[in-house]
Amino acid sequence: MNRICRIGLLLLCASFVTLACQPPQATPPSPTPVPPTSTLTPTPTAAPTETLTATPTTPRLVPDFSHIAILIFENKEFGTVIGNPDMPYFNLLATTYTLLTQHYAIMHPSLPNYIAMMSGDTQGITANCNDCFIDAPSLPDLIEQSGRTWKTYQDDMPEPCYVGDTARYIQHHNPFIYFDAIRLSAERCQRSIVPLTQLDADIAANSLPNFFFITPDACYSAHDCGLDLADQWLKDMIEKLYGALEATGEPYLIIITWDEGQGNHSCCGLPELAGGRVATILVSPQVKPAFQDATPYTHYSILKTIAEAWGLPFLGHGADAETAIITAPWK
């Protein structure tokens, strides 16, 4: 055998040895919506510095998402869910995407937080009432005025625009039904306040709205049942949404949060006794992976951040200087 052939044979053997000695590659839980790190990098068409502008001269602080979704759970403090073995999927998302570590609810009980998140104020509501309807502008009004679409998908709601409670559907976990301008408009209400069962049809028809708000029922929200059931519901929902939103090829954001915590922790211009510290996760290809944002935020910050993304007016306390826009997580 000549010298060149011997060298080639030696190199080929060395390659096999190297491959055989490499450790096996780690794989994520299966099935899972958590993409590999490479897919978290925006494509060249995202170009935030060129396209994300509120005016021709002022850059926006938040990406111009095509879709923004909110999934909201019930009544658990930050320390109750972060690191909890009963919520492995929630914690997987928290360590894969962006976790807001200093996010605070407005007050207790539940309903004022939902109303505040959609209108910038609790509108004087201090209890979980069913007939305390509101004549005030809301985020859906601004979304429609901008030419965008919105919808809330309510788990176990008997029919569109339903008013009242059932065994597992709780009206005061649905803020949209409280705004007169929505509830008293049959066309708006029937179109946009719908049971969660409508989600599959909208995904199949490629007709997800620009903004949508999903509320689990009383069990899967962790209101009446264990965190393990809430975690499984979340896993199923995120896998469904991830596939649908990724298929659009457009920027999107999923916000996972809790209406209130179990304490009275406060920040950011809220009363000294507020709604507690809650764990909020931002899931998006546009967020920094494995990132923790320790900026103090409130539910008003979610409202303000959506308004900034879409160039909408700031509602209520969303306009306050103490209400921070969520800016740190974006790539």
Identify the structural domains of the chain with CATH numbers, from first to last.
67-319 (3.40.720.10)
Note the pLDDT of residue 221.
98
DSSP state of 330: B
| Successive 10-residue mean pLDDT values, the chain, 331 residues | 40 37 38 42 36 51 97 98 98 98 98 98 98 98 98 98 98 98 98 98 98 98 98 98 96 98 95 96 98 98 98 98 97 94
For β-strands 211-215 and 291-293, DSSP reports them as unpaired
* Apex 328 CA angle, 114 and 267, nearest 5: 45
- pTM for the whole structure: 0.84
| DSSP H helices in 207-289 | 227-248
* Helix 299-310 and helix 110-119, axial crossing angle in degrees, nearest 10: 20
Note the pLDDT of residue 60.
81
Tell me which residue has tokens 């028809």.
205
CA–CA distance, 259 with 104 (Å, rounded to integer)? 9
216 closest CA partner among 280, 152, 276: 152
Note the pLDDT of residue 14.
39
261 closest CA partner among 314, 222, 291: 222
Note the pLDDT of residue 44.
35
| Residue 45 Cα distances to 16, 41, 49, 57, 272, angstroms | 40, 11, 11, 20, 45
Note the pLDDT of residue 59.
76
CB 303 within 8 A of CB 114: no
Cross-strand partners of 38: none
Note the pLDDT of residue 34.
59
Note the pLDDT of residue 71.
98
Which residues touch 214 (CB under 8 Å, ≥6 apart)?
69, 70, 71, 72, 152, 153, 155, 196, 199, 237
Q: How many residues are listed for the chain in this entry?
A: 331
CA–CA distance, 251 with 19 (Å, rounded to integer)? 38
What is the helix, strand, coil percentage profile of the chain, to 5? 35, 15, 50
Note the pLDDT of residue 17.
34
For 64-123, the pLDDT digits (tens) are: 999 999 999 999 999 999 999 999 999 999 999 999 999 999 999 999 999 999 999 999
CB count within 10 Å of CB 311 equals 15
Note the pLDDT of residue 79.
97
CB 308 within 8 A of CB 325: yes
Tell me which residue has tokens 């609810």.
105
Note the pLDDT of residue 20.
37
